Amino acid sequence: MHDQVSTDEELAALVQRGDVERFGMLMVRYEPKLMRYGSRFLAQTDDIREIVQDVFIKTYQDIQSFDTTQRFSPWIYRIAHNTFANELRRKSRNPIRLPDFDILLSHSAAIESSDSESERASLARMVERGLNSISPKYREVLVLYFMEELSYKEIADVLRVPVNTVGVRLARAKSALKASYTERNISYEQ
């Protein structure tokens, strides 16, 4: 019963103190989220279980580095991001990492979008359907914002980019999605 109401951070603190079984609780909570994040980010479903399992293994190994005064979800998503990005690079024909110009300059202040819950849900559905047509860089930020419902600041911590860059990437991702819908003659507003 106690486990039902424990926060992720409380569970992580217990795991840090050696309560291994609580790690199972964290896995129960995060497995569906990470499976969804991984399958959208990598645009694949094969082997995703093994990759997510790898994320949990790394999470357990590194859990002593987690600061329990911070939120647990950006921390585990950061581990997942690194694992998925490595997987993308491993499978890529061109594994050389290109410089990311988004993080180079300052962008105008990103104001967190104030979409209503229903608008956000509708956008999430649109995102879900069009994800495979856009690049992983934009796909990921859409998934983290619309599906995993992380804030700009949390996404910035997961991706290790300035908060304004998150806003810029989201705007570009939406444009890319819109263009992809237009190309396929599907109404974006549907």
Query: Contact residues for other proteins (CB under 8 A)?
Result: 15-16, 20-21, 23-24, 27-28, 31, 49, 52-53, 56-57, 60-65, 103-107, 156-157, 160-165
Residue (of 34, 92, 37) closest to 58 by Cα position? 34
| Cα 104 from Cα 34, distance rounded (Å) | 29
**Strand, helix or coil at 151?**
coil
How many Å apart are CA 44 and CA 24, to the nearest integer? 25
Contact residues for 61 (Cβ-Cβ < 8 A; gap 6+): none
Helix (H, G, I), strand (E, B) or coil at 111: coil
Query: What's the closest the beta carbon of residue 174 comes to other proteins, in angstroms?
Result: 22
Output the smallest distance, CB 185 to other proteins, in A.
35
Nearer to other proteins, 82 or 122 (CB): 82
Nearer to other proteins (CB atom), residue 57 or residue 121: 57
**Is the CB of 69 or the CB of 118 nearer to other proteins?**
69
Shortest CB 15 distance to other proteins, Å: 8
> CA–CA separation, 98 vs 96, rounded Å?
6
- In the bound state with other proteins, the residue whose beta carbon lies nearer, of 83 and 165, is 165
Shortest Å, Cβ 86 to other proteins: 17
Torsional sign, CA 78, 84, 87, 91: negative
Q: How far is CA 31 from CA 54, 56, 89, in A?
A: 11, 9, 23
* 23 DSSP 8-state letter: H
Please check whether residue 34 is in contact with residue 82, taking contact to mean a CB–CB distance below 8 angstroms: no
Residue with smaller CB distance to other proteins, 108 or 190: 108
Report, in Å, the least distance between residue 87 CB and other proteins. 17
CB of 64 to other proteins, least distance (A): 4
Decide whether 103 or 147 has the Cβ nearer to other proteins: 103
